[in-house]
Amino acid sequence: MVKLMHNSTAVLHTRPSVLLFVADDQPPNALGIYGGANVTPNIDRIGKSGAIFANAFCTTSLCSPSRASILTGLYAHNHNIRYLANDSTTYDQEQLPSFAADFERAGYATAFYGKYHLHGRFGSKLWTPPRGFSNFGIYRNAGKYFGTTLYTQHSFDNGLKAPTKEHETATLATAASTFIRQVPKNRSLLLVVQFLSAHHPHFYPQTAQVVDAPHEPDLLPIENGIPSGMAITKLNCNYAACNIGNKRSLQKQCGLVKDLASRLMSDIRTVSTMIDDAVGIILGEMTEREDSPIVVYTSDQGVFTGQHGWKDKRLAMEESTRIPLLISAPNWFQGGGVHLKDTVKTVDIAPTLLSLADIAPERPFDGLSVTRIDKSWDQRLYYRFWSENDASRPSHWSMRTPRHKVVFYDGMWPECNGSSKGCVELFHVHEGSAETENVAKKFPHVAVSHLLEAAVLAKSLGDNVVTLSQDQWLSVVG
C-alpha cells in the first residue's frame, strides 16, 4: 500500500488534474492510433478525445537524458544529463527542479511512479528522491519487469517489493490508483507514470496474447551512409517471445533477419498491450473523481525494429527519434481526433502541461507550449547524442527540417575513416521518403547550408558545437 504524503499548501480543486504517461522505447506504430495493431484502445482514446501529433521527436534518444528533458523542458546540454544516470551524471535537482515543483507550488497533490532513472547509485549520497513529488515510488535504476521494487517516500531505503509474478505495469497501475483514491476530490492532482515497458527485453506473462502484425522494414544498410548502428543480429535470448522456456539463440530460433525484425516488433506491441491495460485502469480510477483531466501519453524515445538492419536507438534517424504524443485537455481541440503535423519535441511537454493547467513557471524552458503553435512555430528539430566510447553509436548532432536532415559525426570515430574533420550525412525526410541514402556528396551545398544553419541553431539553444566556414564545411562533406 502506498501511503499519501499530504501537502499543507493544498488548495481547492480549481484547476484540472494532470496525468502524464511515459513509455520506454516505444515507436508510434506500436499503437493502434498510429496505424499499428488495434490493441491499445485505452491509449488511443486519449488521442481520439484530443490531439494526435504526427511529428513528435525526442532531442536525445537515450533514457536518462530524454526523461530529464521531459521533466525539465531543457535540452540535455542544458540539464547536463548526457548519459545513463550514475554517480557522476546525477540530475542536479536543486538547480533544475522539474515542472512538478511548479504544480506543487500551485497546490497540487503530486506523485511519480515508475522508472525515474535520474538518481545516483543506490545507497550512495546521490540516491535522492525525485524533487517536486511529495508522493513517489521509483525504481532502482531501470527497474524490473516482474517483482520490481518501489522506493517510496515512506520506504526509500528498503523499498516495497511487488509480488514476484506481478508485471511492472500492474504494479504501477496499483500504486497510481491508490494515490488517486487518497487525494481529496476537491484537490487537483499531478500524476506522472513512467514505465519500463516497452524497453528490451520485453518480458510479459506467458498468458499474454502475443500480437502478430505485418512488419517489413527496409533492412538494407543506408546507401553511402556512415557504418554505425547496433545490428539486429545481436539480439539474444534475453528477448522474450522467441525464447520462452529455452536458452537457445533467438536468431537460431527465429531464423532470418527479417524474422528477427518481425519478432522484435511483435514483442514491443505485446508489451504495449500491458501498458494499455495499466493506462485503462488509471484512467478508469480518474473518472470516479473528475470528468476532464489533462492527459498526455508519450515515450522517452523511439527504437529501431530492423530498419537499416539495426536494433536499439541513440542515432538521429527517424525510427530512433520519433515518439508517440497524444494530448487530451479540457477546452482544447474539442471534438478530439485532431491530427497535427507540426514538429514538437520532448522539451515542449513541460511547458505544455503548465500552460494547459494555467500555471506560470518559475523559470524559463527551452521548449514551448504546443498551445502556441501557429504559422511562426519553429519546425526544426535540434538533436544531440554523446557516445560512451561505442563506435556503433558515435557522438553526433543533427538538425531536421520538414524536408531535410543533416547529421554531423565526430571525426575521431572509425566510421569517419580516421579523419579528424568528421563526416556528414544528408537525408531527404519529407513526407513519404525514407532515410535510405546519404545524399551529402550529391548535394554538398545543401548539406553545408544546413550545417551552417544547425550551428547557429545550436548556439541559440546554448549548445557548443563546432563552427566552420562554408569552405571548411565543404571540405568535410568531401
How far apart are alpha carbons 366 and 3 in whole angstroms?
35
**Residue type at position 285:** E
pLDDT number for residue 416: 66
Query: Which amino acid does the sequence have at 84?
Result: L
69 in Cβ contact with 357 (< 8 Å)? no
Determine the distance from the C-alpha atom of residue 155 to the mean position of all C-alpha atoms in its chain, rounded to a whole number: 28
Residues 142, 268: Cα–Cα separation, whole Å = 17
pLDDT reported for residue 227: 74
**DSSP of 245-302, one letter per residue?**
T--S-HHHHH-SHHHHHHHHHHHHHHHHHHHHHHHHHHHHHHHTT-S--EEEEEES--
Q: Say how far apart CA 256 and CA 306 lie, in whole Å.
A: 12
Amino acid present at 390: D
What are the φ and ψ backbone dihedral angles of 287, each rounded to 5 degrees? -65, -20
Rounded distance between C-alpha atoms, residue 177 and residue 172, angstroms: 8
Taking alpha carbons only, the member of 205, 180, 211, 202 closest to residue 193 is: 180
Place of cell 502484425: 213
What's the confidence (pLDDT) of residue 3?
44
Residue with the three cell numbers 514491443: 268
Instruction: List the grid coordinates of 45.
Output: 482514446
Residue partners of 360: CB distance under 8 A and separation at least 6: 102, 354
- What's the pLDDT score for residue 90? 58
Alpha carbons 329 and 339: distance in angstroms, whole number: 15
Amino acid at 133: F
**Contacts of 394-401 spanning 24+ positions with Cβ under 8 A:** 394/226, 394/228, 396/315, 396/316, 397/316, 397/454, 397/458, 397/463, 397/465, 398/316, 398/454, 399/450, 399/453, 399/454, 399/457, 400/57, 400/316, 400/321, 400/343, 400/429, 401/429, 401/450
CB 105 within 8 A of CB 75: no
Query: What is the Cα gyration radius of the chain?
Result: 22
Please give the chain's pLDDT, 478 residues, in tens: 344 444 434 444 578 999 999 999 999 999 999 998 889 999 999 999 999 999 999 999 999 999 999 999 999 999 988 888 765 555 666 667 799 999 999 999 999 999 998 877 777 777 888 889 999 999 988 899 999 999 999 999 899 999 999 999 999 999 999 999 999 999 999 999 999 999 988 889 888 888 988 888 888 888 888 877 887 766 654 444 444 333 334 444 444 577 778 888 998 999 999 999 999 999 999 998 887 899 999 999 999 998 988 889 999 999 999 999 999 998 787 778 899 999 999 999 999 999 999 999 999 999 999 999 999 999 999 999 998 777 678 889 999 999 999 999 976 555 565 566 788 999 999 866 789 999 999 999 999 999 999 999 999 999 999 889 999 999 989 8
Q: What residues pair up with 328 in beta bridges, in sequence order?
A: 295
